[in-house]
Amino acid sequence: MEGDIVQMGAYIGAGLACTGMGGAAVGIGHVVGNYISGALRNPSAAASQTATMFIGIAFAEALGIFSFLVALLLMFAV
């Protein structure tokens, strides 16, 4: 019986970890939105900053990945 409660907690925790996706979504949207608004103000400088935008996306996404990692650990490791 106790094992069942632990498993339930792990599943609920894994589901809650998915809310981390929202944070990553906000971060990525912020990065790209600011890139676009900057690019529309100064289109000639936009092309040189695409790589920077992708690096920013990658770093924002990393935090979302950690919530995915927590969900994976709860599902399969705990």
Binding positions for another protein, rule: CB under 8 A: 48, 51, 54-55, 57-58, 61-62, 65-66, 68-69
Report how far residue 68's alpha carbon sits from residue 32's, in angstroms, rounded to the nearest whole number.
22
CA 67 to chain centre: 8
CB closer to another protein, 13 vs 49 = 49
At closest approach, how far in Å is the CB of 2 from another protein? 21
Give the number of other CB atoms < 10 A from CB of residue 22: 11
* In the complex, minimum distance from the CB of residue 34 to another protein, in angstroms, rounded to a whole number: 18
